[in-house]
A and B are shown apart, each in its own frame.
Chain A
Amino acid sequence: RKEVEQDPGPFNVPEGATVAFNCTYSNSASQSFFWYRQDCRKEPKLLMSVYSSGNEDGRFTAQLNRASQYISLLIRDSKLSDSATYLCVVTGSYNTDKLIFGTGTRLQVFP
């Protein structure tokens, strides 16, 4: 089983739609969680950290479910500029400064 699993997509949604991605992780001892965004042929950029209580940043909402070991990202009112690959990232358990990256979920927002 992969340490971090994501549906590769693509998710094709119209502008203004709400879309949600889930990510599951295998190590119950993981402590920190993040979503990164990666545009085609560019570096990943930190989108948001995911806190136990859930957190929101504008149109983006992240949730953590430790019991089921999954993380979600909700994007409301999708924009064309949201088209990208979204990477789910968790920390390893034995050395918490190492990040483990999922392979990403691709989102394509169309007009």
Chain B
Amino acid sequence: SQTIHQWPATLVQPVGSPLSLECTVEGTSNPNLYWYRQAAGRGLQLLFYSVGIGQISSEVPQNLSASRPQDRQFILSSKKLLLSDSGFYLCAWSDPTGDRGLEQYFGPGTRLTVT
């Protein structure tokens, strides 16, 4: 069965510090991968998605970036955090080859507080 991991679970960082969040998926190959952010009391906002190694699409302009160095690894980064980057960061995967290719499955998330 497929599993998705994210770490760290929680993070408190000062403004201006760098960020690196990691997501890995097990039990599947060539997944589509997604980064979302959920701000307090708000819906999920798609930040990035990837259909393959090195292929990243950005949904909103921001000071975040994403990379996919391996098939099942997705990394979210920032060089300098802003207060507005606080939120719940969720990684998700989907299987584009199956008949349920649009269903997305989420990792446990990282709760980021920028102080």
Contact = CB atoms under 8 A, between A and B. Distances in A.
Interface of A: 4, 32, 34, 41-46, 49, 87, 91, 96-99, 101-104
Nearest to A99: B104
A97 B106 contact: no
Given A46-B103, A46-B105, A91-B102, A101 B90 contact: no
Contacts of B59: 98
Contacts, number: 45
Interface of B: 32, 41-44, 46, 49, 59, 88, 90, 94, 96, 100-109, 111
Nearest to B100: A49
B103 A101 contact: no
B46 A99 contact: yes
A105 B85 CA distance: 25
Nearest to B46: A98
